[in-house]
Structure 1
């Protein structure tokens, strides 16, 4: 198995690849902020990317923001590029874990995963792209398992709150949990929100390639997961949610696919009872619905054609653009937050899941700060620190895994609670 400790030939616990990218800058700050939580109270880390001058600026920015001038001399800088496989190999051979921040991952993620698998580095990314995540599992799981390498995708807002939220709800329920629905709301700060180019492109190309995702899934040859208790009822395309006191729609992101992959692993590998899952997001009142319908129809139309995709990418800057790290950091983080309500049902202890209707319910809550550039770095870095400190609690073999499959037996939730992503029972605890 690939090591979880440094050595003379592998000197860094963590290398942040893509550190000069928009999200990478926030990940750098979070690593610097939590370095004392590394193995034996210290963390050896470096930043990597294709432009040394930009990387130096990122480290300097972090040193100033955190009042840690020593970072400028302590943090090493490595030059590596996804188009230069030799440079990737050199980087991966020096890392215990590579934090991959090189989205859109459909364009830049594969070479990083491949190099990590071949060169003995574990890899964590923050992808919210199901096609990329599942193709990595299809293409590299067996090789990663053979090499003892752990590749863990979607370790950001997509999808640690949802995936670990279902795990938390299951663990808090006294009995057999059979189904969970999650309801997400997010609030922007006083200056409003924005979306970065990489995230916007991921959404555009993800929807455009939805047919390819269905074809990809057929290649796994998975059998349907067993259903314990009644089959979960899917809500409508648009409905009024009493849970949120506003209108809601099915969540279009990667959370449902990630949670389902986790439940498949827990069922097939650990022989645990699977939990059905439905994910929804609040959209507000009537006025917001009209805006959503119009924007949604336009978006769905344009992503089907190359000219439309190019147009969406070009016009984004006039709608909601993160043009500058400094401006974004100052204007949009304060006051932004997210909130997941999880509603679960199942059979209490002593009840037979094969007989009758579920007789127990539970509500839990996961909440935290701004989703993209505060919560995501926290989740990613705490996932890496958990791997470094609790390697004995990971799956028995390497492979390509979801967060829930990787961290179900670890203290990741406790670590997240200490850093502002809070998991708790939601009164009334059991109805």
Structure 2
């Protein structure tokens, strides 16, 4: 029987069978399968590799008998060439599916830029890290690796990563390059664990130099010079630097001090967790000299310097501010001015002493050295190391190790207050001494 339209329409499946296979008499292998439900499908049957293969050509109605016959003839031609038409179709379909899957994955990978990856990292991995670390990590990556931000994260290779870190070293110094490298390596290490990127391009990046451990502590004479020079800085910065010395707290925490964080009698200052480097609220006892400094500071209106209502506005919450709305800025410039004042004081003292030679320069120092100076001096004053560490709000107190560190929850408030008073007394005694 030749499978033509009239013949096909007349074929039905016997009621006692599930389907019926009818072969065309003129084209070997060309067949029609008719199911019990009445569905009719064109097939091509052939032998390949010692096995019978049946390849579906299409449904009757979708294909005409002539179209189906053409497909069967084309498949038979490939069989005669020693090919496997069904196997080739499966291979082509698998290739198409793989290509489509790859394209989808590539589209997703392209959409995941370095900028978006940083946002995910900040919202997931960094949410439980110290706030200060999280802020600095995100800031450093965005500021120091701007050329990488819009690029697909998975497309960053070793060469691109190395060039970016080298550029940071040239523009902002080796220390910033090392820190940016550490942040980027941590970012990609986290992304690799989540299969967001295939490799960590920063894993083998080389950075120059090494982190230098800072151990500068000011001598008593140097501390006296710093304290005395702050008197010539003006009320705002003079008070800021003196509170920094007396409390031994971090420069950013002091700069952001708010009146609401101070007790009514100014005896204590509570640094909130969101502004503390280790993410923990910290109670600071304020010795009498610190209370006197704070009492002398005026309350600023929040719109000062910005065209606002001035004195008619509610007082600013910020203790140290030039605008009333943002913490004091320009601390680094004020530090330069402080160093200049110290040098001028040395020149004046040398001239008054009749010294012809230029006095030695004040050794380089950083504001953070004040904290180390305080800890060193407190040890000399007989204050226990773990009390001094709690005074500075260090995460782990020195001298408390192992199981004791896990279970030690005592805050040593009384001891810290005594240490604060002892430190303030030491500073004022130095200030009262004759520098000559």
Answer yes or no: same fold by TM over 0.5. Answer: no
* Higher RCO structure (Cα 8 Å, ≥6 apart): 1
After TM superposition, the score normalised by the length of structure 2 is 0.23
Q: Which has the higher strand share?
A: 1
- In terms of fraction of residues, the more helix-rich structure is 2
TM-score (ref. length: structure 1)? 0.24
Structure with the greater alpha carbon radius of gyration: 2
